[in-house]
């Protein structure tokens, strides 16, 4: 059965190939048995014979040590389990996004409450919120008022998130990032 190219690419990026059986070029290896016991240092040919007699593969675990460390195992099962474990880890990780909420200097209380509900929902989902207030025209002369509007908004979100830095002015904008509170 042929697998689609995107699936093969995913498998190769997940799993780093290891040298097995005849691919191992070291002269001597430190051998670890299938059950984890140390079998000692021996020539690679003898290690291959032991692995063959057990019906398993000789896998190079660490090639940059002297002597190289090899283990006797079922390589196909090992590879399958590693891919499965990596996929499970990727599935369970949460990617934190940064979502923006825009305010204005002349925003009324109804709109603030609406944007507060949205920000609370975003923070409860575990994402960061970027609050920005754009000053237009003459509003730039009153940047203290803009910072005050943003600070009031941030204070009302204190139960849901925390701020690393105070709001700062970047050109025409007042910007602050709110991190979600950790829930365990």
Domain 19-79, CATH: 3.10.20.80
Higher pLDDT: 124 or 94? It is: 124
Which two structure tokens, joined as six digits, stand for 101?
Answer: 């909420």
Helices marked H in the chain: 5-14, 44-54, 75-92, 109-124, 143-156
pLDDT of the residue at 11:
46
CA distance 94 to 73: 33
pLDDT of the residue at 2:
53
Q: How confident is the model at residue 114 (pLDDT cuts 50, 70, 90)?
A: very high
Mean pLDDT over 158-177 rounds to 89
Tokens 């609370």, located at residue: 120
CA distance 8 to 21: 23
Diameter of the chain measured on Cα atoms: 85
Whether residue 8 has pLDDT greater than 60: no
CA distance 147 to 171: 13
- For domain 98-180, the CATH superfamily is Translation initiation factor 3 (IF-3), C-terminal domain (3.30.110.10)
In the chain, CATH 3.30.110.10 covers 98-180
Distance of CA 128 to the CA centre of its chain: 16
Distance of CA 55 to the CA centre of its chain: 38
* Spatial contact of 131 and 103, defined as CB atoms under 8 Å apart: yes
Taking the C-alpha atoms of 73, 76, 79 and 85 in order, what is their torsion angle to the nearest 10 degrees? -100
Could you read off the pLDDT of 118-132 as tens digits, one per residue?
999 999 988 899 999
Could you read off the pLDDT of 29-45 as tens digits, one per residue?
888 888 888 888 888 88
Instruction: State how beta strands 28-32 and 38-43 pair.
Output: antiparallel
CA distance 48 to 63: 16
Could you read off the pLDDT of 49-92 as tens digits, one per residue?
888 888 888 888 887 888 888 888 888 888 888 889 888 888 87
Give me the chain's average pLDDT, please: 84
Whether residue 16 has pLDDT greater than 70: no
In the chain, CATH 3.10.20.80 covers 19-79
pLDDT of the residue at 88:
86
């Amino acid at each position: 059965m042929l697998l689609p190219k995107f699936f093969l690419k995913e498998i190769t990026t997940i799993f780093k190939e290891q040298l097995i059986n005849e691919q191992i070029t070291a002269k001597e290896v430190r051998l670890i048995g299938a059950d984890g016991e140390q079998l000692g240092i021996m020539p690679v040919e003898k290690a291959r014979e032991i692995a063959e007699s057990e019906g398993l593969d000789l896998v190079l675990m660490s090639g940059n040590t002297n002597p190289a460390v090899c283990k006797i195992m079922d390589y196909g099962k090992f590879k399958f389990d590693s891919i499965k474990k990596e996929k499970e880890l990727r599935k369970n990780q949460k990617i934190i996004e940064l979502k923006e909420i825009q305010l204005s200097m002349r925003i009324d209380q109804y709109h603030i409450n609406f944007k507060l509900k949205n920000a609370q929902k975003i923070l409860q989902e575990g994402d960061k919120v970027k609050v920005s207030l754009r000053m237009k025209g003459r509003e730039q002369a009153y940047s203290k008022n803009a910072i005050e509007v943003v600070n009031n908004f941030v204070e009302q979100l204190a139960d849901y998130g925390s701020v690393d830095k105070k709001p700062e002015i970047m050109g025409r904008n007042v910007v602050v990032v709110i991190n979600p509170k950790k829930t365990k």
